[in-house]
Amino acid sequence: MARKGLWAINIVILLCLLASIGGIYALTSKAPSFMLSCSSELFNHEVDAADSDHYLLVDLVSKDGLAQINYRYYDLDGNSAGTLAMTGKVNKIDAKRQMYDISVTTKQEYLGGSSLDTPAHYEYLSYVSGINLNKSGMHSLSLQVLERDEAKDYAVVLFQPSNTVCGCRLVH
């Protein structure tokens, strides 16, 4: 009888240990949260390259493996020229190469005022993401940190497939 009681206690201890390990894994296996607030000056290469047409602001928020990306375009006077709002999930983070792979699954587009020219970058990103979302239900987006200054909470980030380099503030 004492052996059966000891056996039951060992089983309970083993189950508690397995549950604890499972809980620790669930808490630590989630993708890390991060937030970037980025900007870039866009140029129309078909016109005089010295004249900037638009500014691009990109906000990226990732929490628990989900991602929200907002591309906001403005003319030089600060008028909205359009917004692409995307949501998806973080597939992979390569810490060594400082690369982030994101699958975008939804997109909403908002054009600015009718008198404003649509930025070529907006048109390209809208076109490429639209094709990918319509064809496979997913648009791949990757970010690579090219340079980082932790002391100043600043990074230079390359966004693909739009081939855009932005200066980003790291938000904690």
> In this predicted model, what pLDDT tens digit does every residue of 84-115 receive, in sequence order?
999 999 999 898 888 999 999 999 999 887 66
Angle CA 86–157–112, to nearest 5: 40
Read off the pLDDT band of 49 (50, 70, 90).
very low
Read off the pLDDT band of 56 (50, 70, 90).
very high
Q: Give the side-chain half-sphere CA count within 13 A for 170.
A: 15
Question: What mean pLDDT comes out for the span 118-126?
Answer: 90
- What's the pLDDT at 29? 45
Question: What pTM, to 2 d.p., does this model score?
Answer: 0.76
- Closest to 70 measured CA to CA, from 53, 52, 88, 93: 88
- What's the pLDDT at 57? 94
* Higher pLDDT pick, 69 / 119: 69
- Provide the H-helix boundaries in the chain: 2-28, 120-136
pLDDT > 50? residue 118: yes
Question: What mean pLDDT comes out for the span 38-52?
Answer: 65
What is the per-residue pLDDT across 126-162, written as a single tens digit (0 to 9) for each?
Answer: 999 999 999 999 999 999 999 999 889 999 999 998 8
Least confident of 19-28, 58-67, 146-155: 19-28
What is the per-residue pLDDT across 24-42, written as a single tens digit (0 to 9) for each?
Answer: 444 444 556 889 999 988 7
**Encoding tokens for residue 41?**
């000056």
